[in-house]
Amino acid sequence: MTKIFKVPFAEQGNRVSIPDEAPSDGAVSYAQGYGEAYGRDQNEDPTARDIEREKMNGIFHDITGAVGEIQTFGAAQWSAEAPPYPLRTLVYHKQKLWQSRIENNKEEPKAGNAWVELKADMTADDVGAYSKKESDARFQVKGNYALKGESYTKPESDSKYQPQGNYQPAGNYAIRGESYTKGESDGRYQSRGNYQPAGNYALRGESYTKRESNERYMQKSRTMETVIWTGWAGEGDNVYCNRNVLGKLLYFRFGEWSQKGWHFPVLIPALTGVIPVYTLMGNNWLALRLTSSSSFNILASPMHWDQILISE
117 by DSSP, 3-state: which? strand
* pLDDT 10s digits, 109-155: 998 899 998 887 777 776 678 878 888 888 888 878 777 777 888 88
Say if 75-129 and 226-311 have the same CATH topology: no
Residue 279 has pLDDT above 80, yes or no: no
pLDDT at 93: 93
Q: Do 280 and 293 touch, CB atoms closer than 8 A?
A: no
Residue ranges covered by each domain of the chain: 9-19+47-73, 75-129, 226-311
* pLDDT 10s digits, 4-54: 888 988 889 899 988 989 998 888 998 989 888 888 888 888 888 888 889
Alpha-carbon distance 117 to 119, whole Å? 6
pLDDT at 39: 85
* pLDDT 10s digits, 236-270: 999 999 999 998 999 999 888 766 778 889 998 88
Among residues 89, 86, 87, the alpha carbon closest in space to that of 97 is found at 89
Instruction: Tell me, letter by letter, the H, E, C secondary structure of the chain.
Output: CCCCCCCCCCCCCCCCCCCCCCCCCCCCECCCECCHHHHCCCCCCCCCCCCCHHHHHHHHHHHHHHHHHHHHHCCCECCCCCCCECCCCEEEECCEEEEECCCCECCCCCECCCEEEECCCCCHHHHCCCCHHHHHHHCCCCCCCCCCCCCCCHHHHHHHCCCCCCCCCCCCCCCCCCCCCHHHHHHHCCCCCCCCCCCCCCCCCCCCCHHHHHHHCCCCCCCCEEEEEEEEECCCCEEECCCCCCCCEEEEEECCCHHHCCEEEEECCCCCCCCCEEEEECCEEEEEEEEECCEEEEEECCCCEEEEEEEC
- Looking at domain 226-311, which of 3.20.20.70, 3.30.70.580, 2.60.320.30, 3.40.710.10 is its CATH number? 2.60.320.30
pLDDT at 259: 64
pLDDT bin (cut points 50, 70, 90) of residue 58 is: confident
Q: Mean pLDDT throughout 183-200? A: 77
* CATH class of domain segment(s) 75-129: mainly beta
pLDDT bin (cut points 50, 70, 90) of residue 102 is: very high
Mean pLDDT of the chain: 84
Residue 221 has pLDDT above 60, yes or no: no
Do you know the residue count of the chain?
312
* pLDDT 10s digits, 287-302: 888 999 999 999 888 8
User: Highest mean pLDDT range out of 53-57, 125-129, 175-179?
Assistant: 53-57
In sign, the C-alpha dihedral spanning 134, 137, 138, 140 is positive
Residue 193 has pLDDT above 90, yes or no: no
Longest Cα–Cα distance of the chain, Å, equals 145
Residue 218 has pLDDT above 60, yes or no: no
pLDDT at 222: 57
